[in-house]
Structure 1
Amino acid sequence: MRRIAIVGTTGSGKTTLARRVAQRCLIPHIELDALQWEPNWTPAEPQVFRDRVRLALSGDRWVVDGNYSAVRDIVWQRADTVVLLDYPFGLVLRRLLRRTWRRSLYQEELWNGNRETFRQSFFSRDSILVWLLRTYWKKRKQYPVLFQQSEYAHLSTVHLRSPKAAEQWLFSCEQHLL
């Protein structure tokens, strides 16, 4: 486990787990959202995004988090391990509500000056909460199918169904990465 990709639905804790892996194992953390989003929530041009991802993943050891299908080929071809966070919907929804409320209330800067607002988060069709509703069940079905594709046969896959399982995995991977 030298190059780890962490995937899962919106709000599942991908970035939190990736940060913890990076901190404990002293490897770089790459957050795909930070490479994708320009100021004012403008997505990077597709080729710019792909180039940023290639550069970010050029090292020998890293942990990356994110679900962007536009760069999955780059990420998964370089990765040796993919970790799927597959938590129950209620847990993910509670976490996402809490995180979104906090970010909106305190106007936490995310990437390139972007911040979540109450209006955007709770009253917009572009809401992260609406995105969760649209993608949660699709992603749960999609990842196991992707893991079976021949181009990803080199990957070791880890399917975590609870925060407790994630803690146990983090402890075990820490032993392998140090």
Structure 2
Amino acid sequence: MTEGTLRPNSSNSTLFHSFDIFSPESAAVVFDLRDSQNSIDTSTVNTIISRVTGSSSSSIDGFLGIDQDAGTPTPDLFLINPNGIDFGVNAFVSVPGSFVASTAESILFEEGVAFSALDASGAPPLLTVSAPIGLQMGANQVLALAIAVLSTPSAPIQQQP
């Protein structure tokens, strides 16, 4: 996946993506930040923020990752879908920075701006460039937990309910 809406500040950039449906069930989805693949300068991207604005939950049962040029920042990836996010047994996430997947309705920024999955028209035309400071849950938030085995390059991590 290339392009998106890029909002640079003095030293870093935030890349925004919006999806009506995001369900890479068995295929790979790669946020490709290599400059040769984009018509925008992605060399300073340190945060990728993605929202799902449709009414379906996301089912991720394949590879989700970030590809980048050597020597560029290690971007964090945020994915919000208030309708739910399911990671299947074949899901594999590979990002150089942090990864946040949430059923929050929006991501809040220092300026008081929210990048909303429910009200896509609510984002200001220039979006924002500061670091995200929080996730905003809705009034009808459903909590669902499942047992998962997570792993890092050095050791597995076991999550218990």
| TM-score, length basis structure 2 | 0.30
Q: Which structure has more helix as a fraction of its residues?
A: 1
Query: Larger RCO: Structure 1 or Structure 2 (Cα < 8 Å, ≥ 6 residues apart)?
Result: 1
Q: TM-score, normalised by structure 1?
A: 0.28
